[in-house]
């Protein structure tokens, strides 16, 4: 029988030398929920985050204009506590970054999370110690932390991607990445010549704001986007009341269908042109993701997809006065296959005299010099250069840590030809490590907080199962991984999401294996992991650690 280590209560979570039950990397919305849940289960838990505050991506993305660009309030929030829902007032339909960050800070206080969150601390190494069955972590503060379980809650969009442009370091002006926006001062664009590379969500949100004060703004665009009007506005009282009064039912529907409110069942291809146009116009006026969601076949039937895509192109042509500029902004790939973007005044910004667009697909960026950007057909002198170039999405946060599993094998090597996992939650060879919102899960295609809660509950369940059985080690069986990979790929192949270059596929990062990384059936995914739990965790191996080694490790840690 393994010896349960006795710990002095006050030693747990305060000393970096104590053995934790669970170490969590990341104090964003997933890590905060995992902390709450696992602590409720009686575990000694500590969260580490490199930032100076909680909030994960909402801590870092402080660029002007950053706001929720998925279905927003009152549903972009934690769902597990009716009291929390009742007491929090959302003011706008698409809350901005300060509003989301203040909500997450409220959650940290409300559930007394801060005492177990260690900020301004990067985890610089994570290695599984075979003999003891513990994870040994090194921190940027020079500490060594030992934990039975390791949870990666590093976020899907946390590893900022800076393309390796020749000469970038030589640029003498200001350089910012949207994902690492300055925390300590506002960036003033007044009267400056600003260049921005990238027109994903971050670029699209930022561009109209810079345009208002910059002397000149040059937008370096590689791929045009489908930008839908966000139409952020005060949140209607009726919707606030509906949400607060019906939360359990709405939550239940969101678990079952991925949406708290019913989804349109009508098909675009079956509607008459007149009907369809009326529906599209109304959805365009309503804003948010209404246009995508106004028919049920946009993301499954190429014909329906082209109908809605052409409607957006028509709107872009109408919004932009110069037809040549409009032409450059027209997207011709599957609508929604790259993440749809919600913008405010984006297309209109290109009607301003101080805004110009440069197509870097036609004339690629050759280098950055000390004074600007050189493309194959021109030079653009700049005072400020903004990289809105996105993230090594979904896997980058974890592969940049590159944990070492059994036999010192590195995760990056295991995933060098593509992600392998079981349920997207665990990787064979990496016992006692769980991944939240990682690859091969619905992370970015399911209500974020709800997905974090369901995964957090599942992880708490498997840890409880191991503990009750007297097991120290839980590991995904290698044989389960290929089938899981096929299951995720088959769902992607049936949809239109996998039919374009996007960060869902890893195609934004040179050299990254192309593989559709998102499980597209959120409700099905959560039913599936629930069934695995019900079966007694089929596909996982539970074992006991070497007790002597564990005791030695504990003694060494306590004595050091
Ligand atoms: P995204 O959506 O990944 O957008 C990155 C943008 O940067 C996109 O337009 C890219 O063009 C462009 N990019 C990337 N590398 C280059 C190079 N080398 N040259 C030119 N252009 C480049 O990141 P965001 O931060 O905007 O948004 C990420 C998510 O965060 C978003 O979905 C929201 O949820 C919030 P490409 O399209 O790849 O041709």
Ligand 1 proximity of 455 Cβ (cutoff 6 Å): no
* Tokens of residue 30, six digits: 């997933």
Residue 92, preceding bond cis, omega within 30 degrees? no
For a mutational test of ligand 1's pocket, the pick from 59, 198, 221, 328, i.e. the residue with the most ligand atoms closer than 8 A to its C-beta, is: 198
Query: Any idea which fold 20-54+113-157+393-559 has?
Result: FAD/NAD(P)-binding domain (3.50.50)
Per the CB < 8 A criterion, the answer to whether 320 and 329 are in contact is: yes
Looking at domain 160-225+338-390, its CATH class is: alpha beta
- Parallel, antiparallel, or unpaired: how do β-strands 45-48 and 433-435 relate? unpaired
Residue 422 neighbours by CB under 8 Å, 6+ apart: 428, 476, 477, 480, 481, 484, 539, 540
What's the burial of 233, exposed, middle or buried (CB within 10 Å: 0-12/13-18/19+)?
exposed
505 DSSP assignment: T
The pair of three-digit structure tokens given for residue 274, joined into one six-digit string: 């007149």
| Ligand 1 atom closest to 204 (CA) | 26
What is the whole-number distance in angstroms between the Cα of residue 157 and the centre of ligand 1? 11
Q: Residue with structure tokens 């028509």?
A: 314
| 3-class SS of residue 5 | coil
| Residue among 97, 389, 503 to mutate when testing ligand 1 (max atoms within 8 A of CB) | 389
Consecutive 10-residue runs of the chain (560 residues): their mean pLDDT? 33 55 98 98 98 97 95 95 97 97 98 98 98 96 97 96 97 97 95 98 98 98 98 96 96 96 94 98 97 96 98 98 98 96 98 98 97 97 98 95 97 97 98 98 91 98 97 97 97 92 92 95 97 98 73 48
CATH topology match: 20-54+113-157+393-559 vs 160-225+338-390 = yes
Calpha distance 280→474 (Å, rounded): 50
- 440 Cβ partners below 8 Å, 6+ apart? 419, 421, 423, 424, 484, 485, 488, 517, 518, 519
Q: Is 390 in the pocket of ligand 1 (CB under 6 A)?
A: yes
d(CA 416, CA 539): 23
Does residue 200 have its Cβ closer than 6 Å to ligand 1?
yes
- pTM (2 d.p.): 0.93
193-197 and 384-387 beta bridge pairing:
parallel
3-state secondary structure 124-193: EEEEEECCCCEEEEEECCCCEEEEEEEEECCCCCCCECCCCCCCHHHCCCEEEEHHHCCCCCCCCCCCCE
Q: Whose Cα sits closest to atom 6 in ligand 1? A: 198
CA atoms of 526 and 509, how far apart (whole Å): 29
d(CA 135, CA 144): 10
Cα distances (Å, whole numbers) of residue 86 to 89, 246, 247, 249? 8, 11, 9, 15
Q: Does ligand 1 lie within 6 Å of residue 388's CB atom?
A: yes
**Shortest-distance atom of ligand 1 to CA 223:** 39
Q: What is the pLDDT of residue 4?
A: 32
383 lines ligand 1 (CB under 6 A): no
Residues 6 or more apart from 245 whose CB is under 8 A from it? none
Pocket test for ligand 1, best of 168, 222, 366, 376 (most atoms within 8 A of CB): 222
CA distance 257 to 279: 23
**379-418 pLDDT tens trace:** 999 999 999 999 999 999 999 999 999 999 999 999 999 9
* Ligand 1 neighbour 158 (Cβ under 6 A): no
76, 147, 284, 343 from 95: Cα distances, Å? 9, 37, 19, 13
Ligand 1 pocket check for 50: Cβ under 6 Å: no
> Residue 33 and residue 42: Cα distance in Å, rounded?
14
> From CA 249, how far away is CA 83, in angstroms rounded?
15
Exposure string over 471-496, b if 16+ CB within 10 A, otherwise e: bbbbbbeeebbeebbebbbebbeebb
222 lines ligand 1 (CB under 6 A): yes
- In 3D, which of 527, 534, 454, 455 has the Cα closest to residue 487? 527
Query: Per the structure block, which two tokens stand in for 276?
Result: 């369809």
- Of 165, 187, 169, the closest CA to residue 178 belongs to 187
The alpha carbon of 555 and the centre of ligand 1 are apart by a number of angstroms equal to 49
Structure tokens at 260: 């708290």
Name the nearest CA neighbour of 336 among 228, 470, 210: 228
**Domain residue limits, the chain:** 20-54+113-157+393-559, 160-225+338-390
Burial environment of residue 269 by CB neighbours within 10 A (0 to 12, 13 to 18, 19 or more): middle
Q: Ligand 1 mean position to 388 CA, how many Å?
A: 6
Residue 197 CA to ligand 1 centre (angstroms): 8
Distance separating alpha carbons of residues 448 and 451, to the nearest angstrom: 5
61 lines ligand 1 (CB under 6 A): no
Asked if residues 27 and 117 have their Cβ atoms less than 8 Å apart, the reply is yes
Q: Whose CA is nearest to atom 14 of ligand 1?
A: 389
């Amino acid at each position: 029988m393994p010896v349960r280590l006795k710990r002095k209560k006050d030693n747990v979570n305060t000393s970096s030398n104590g053995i934790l039950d669970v170490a969590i990397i990341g104090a964003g919305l997933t890590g905060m929920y995992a902390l709450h849940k696992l602590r409720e289960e009686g575990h000694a838990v500590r969260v580490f985050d490199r930032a100076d505050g909680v909030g994960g991506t909402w801590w870092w993305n402080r660029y002007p204009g950053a706001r929720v660009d998925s279905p927003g309030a009152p549903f972009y929030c934690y769902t597990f506590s009716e009291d929390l829902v009742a007491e929090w007032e959302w003011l706008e339909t698409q809350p901005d970054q300060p509003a989301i960050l203040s909500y997450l800070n409220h959650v940290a206080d409300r559930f007394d999370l801060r005492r177990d969150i260690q900020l301004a601390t990067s985890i610089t190494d994570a290695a599984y110690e075979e003999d003891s069955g513990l994870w040994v972590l090194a921190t940027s503060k020079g500490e060594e932390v030992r934990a039975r379980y390791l949870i990666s809650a590093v976020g899907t969009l946390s590893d900022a991607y800076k393309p390796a442009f020749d000469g970038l370091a030589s640029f003498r002006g200001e350089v910012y990445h949207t994902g690492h926006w300055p925390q300590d001062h506002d960036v003033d664009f007044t009267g400056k010549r600003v260049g921005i590379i990238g027109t994903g969500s971050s670029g699209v949100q930022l561009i109209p704001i810079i345009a208002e004060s910059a002397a000149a703004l040059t937008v370096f665009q590689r791929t045009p986007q489908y930008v839908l009007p966000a139409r952020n506005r005060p949140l209607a009282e009726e919707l606030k009341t509906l949400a607060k009064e019906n939360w359990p039912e709405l939550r239940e529907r969101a678990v079952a269908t991925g949406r708290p409110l019913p989804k349109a069942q009508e098909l675009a291809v079956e509607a008459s042109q007149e009907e369809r146009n009326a529906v599209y116009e109304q959805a365009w006026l309503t804003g948010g993701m209404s246009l995508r969601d106004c028919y049920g076949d946009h993301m499954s039937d190429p014909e329906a997809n082209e109908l809605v895509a052409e409607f957006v192109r028509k709107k872009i042509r109408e919004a932009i006065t110069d037809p040549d500029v409009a032409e450059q902004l027209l997207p011709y790939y599957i609508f929604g296959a790259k993440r749809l973007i919600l913008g405010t005044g984006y297309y209109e910004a290109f009607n301003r005299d101080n805004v110009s667009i440069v197509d870097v697909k036609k004339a690629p960026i050759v280098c950055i010099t000390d004074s600007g950007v050189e493309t194959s057909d021109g030079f653009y002198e700049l005072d400020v250069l903004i990289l809105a170039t996105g993230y090594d999405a979904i896997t980058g946060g974890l592969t940049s840590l590159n944990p070492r599993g059994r036999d010192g094998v590195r995760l990056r090597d295991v995933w060098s030809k593509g992600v392998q996992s079981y349920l997207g939650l665990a990787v064979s060879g990496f016992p006692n490590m769980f991944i939240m919102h990682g690859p091969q899960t619905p992370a970015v295609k399911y209500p974020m907080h709800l997905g974090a809660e369901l995964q957090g509950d599942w992880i708490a369940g498997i840890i409880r199962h191991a503990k009750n059985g007297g097991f120290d080690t839980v590991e995904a069986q290698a044989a389960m991984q290929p089938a899981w990979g096929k299951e995720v790929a088959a769902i992607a192949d049936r949809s239109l999401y996998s039919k374009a270059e996007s960060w869902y596929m890893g195609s934004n990062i040179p050299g990254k294996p192309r593989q559709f990384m998102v499980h597209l059936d959120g409700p099905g995914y959560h039913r599936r992991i629930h069934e695995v739990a019900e079966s007694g965790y089929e596909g996982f191996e539970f074992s006991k650690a070497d007790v002597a080694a564990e005791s030695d490790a504990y003694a060494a840690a306590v004595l050091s």
